């Protein structure tokens, strides 16, 4: 296997994880998994949240792929792309942790971006948190951020249709 193929698999896996994260966030975390995700949407002063348990699932995906690709674990049945997919999932996890937990929620460092894509990421995720409860909402991704003006219009439309209840600051 070439180094180029390995790099492409890592990058494609990391990119695919944004879709996995978006769909998991929208349909699991804001669906049947709300009990774990709720505390992430409510004010608290705890270091950890139940929501952090979702990171364990991401780690399990990465570890499982590393194991599938490992001749030490799987012997001759090792699937060589597994290691590189596992690395892509790990890369996404690191990016997610830095952007979502670090930049957006400032769990590890304090920096408020004044312009550029970092500001757009923060604004989009703050608009995600503009709803009360699990219904409705916008911007379920973590690395891809749509235009905040469009997201605000979508939130207003959801409120008018009775889909979402918005916090006062957004109304």
**How many separate domains does the chain show?**
1
pLDDT in tens, the chain (171 residues): 799 999 999 999 999 999 999 999 999 999 999 999 999 999 888 889 999 999 999 999 999 999 999 999 999 999 999 999 999 999 999 999 999 999 999 999 899 999 999 999 999 999 999 999 999 999 999 899 999 999 999 999 999 999 999 887 655
Identify whether 168 is part of a domain.
no
Q: What does the DSSP assignment read for 4-67?
A: HHHHHHHHHHHHHHHHHHHHHIIIIIIIITHHHHGGGGS----S--GGGHHHHHHHHHHHHHHH
Identify whether 170 is part of a domain.
no
Q: Dig out the tokens for 117 from the structure.
A: 């894509």
- CA-closest candidate to residue 98, choices 67, 66, 121: 121
pLDDT value, residue 167: 84
| Residue 76: CB atoms within 10 Å | 5
pLDDT value, residue 169: 60
Question: Which one-letter DSSP state was computed for residue 38?
Answer: G
Residues forming a β-bridge with 128: none
pLDDT value, residue 109: 87
Identify whether 124 is part of a domain.
yes
Q: Please state, in angstroms and as integers, the Cα–Cα distance from residue 77 to each residue in 1, 2, 65, following that order.
A: 16, 20, 13
pLDDT value, residue 170: 55
Identify whether 34 is part of a domain.
yes
Identify whether 171 is part of a domain.
no
Residue 52 belongs to domain spanning: 3-161
E strand or H helix at 165, and its extent? strand 165-166
pLDDT value, residue 82: 97
Identify whether 80 is part of a domain.
yes
Q: Is the dihedral of CA 122, 51, 20, 135 positive or negative?
A: negative
Question: How far, in Å, CA of 126 to CA of 139, rounded?
Answer: 9
Identify whether 150 is part of a domain.
yes
Identify whether 169 is part of a domain.
no
pLDDT value, residue 1: 73
| Residue 5: CB atoms within 10 Å | 12
């Amino acid at each position: 296997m070439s180094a180029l193929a390995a790099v492409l698999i890592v990058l494609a896996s990391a990119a695919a994880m944004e879709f996995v994260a978006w769909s998991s966030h929208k349909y699991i975390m804001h669906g049947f998994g709300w009990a774990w995700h709720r505390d992430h949407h409510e004010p608290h002063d705890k270091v950890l949240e139940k929501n952090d348990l979702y990171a364990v699932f991401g780690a399990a995906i990465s570890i499982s792929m590393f194991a599938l690709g490992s001749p030490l674990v799987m012997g001759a049945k090792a699937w060589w792309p597994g290691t590189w997919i596992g690395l892509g999932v790990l890369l996404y996890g690191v990016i997610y942790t830095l952007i979502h937990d670090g930049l957006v929620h400032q769990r590890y460092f304090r920096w408020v971006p004044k312009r550029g894509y970092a500001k757009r990421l923060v604004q989009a995720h703050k608009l995600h948190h503009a709803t009360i409860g699990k219904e409705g909402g916008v911007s379920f991704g973590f690395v891809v951020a749509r235009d905040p003006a469009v997201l605000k219009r979508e939130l207003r439309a959801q409120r008018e249709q009775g889909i979402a209840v918005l916090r006062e600051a957004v109304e």
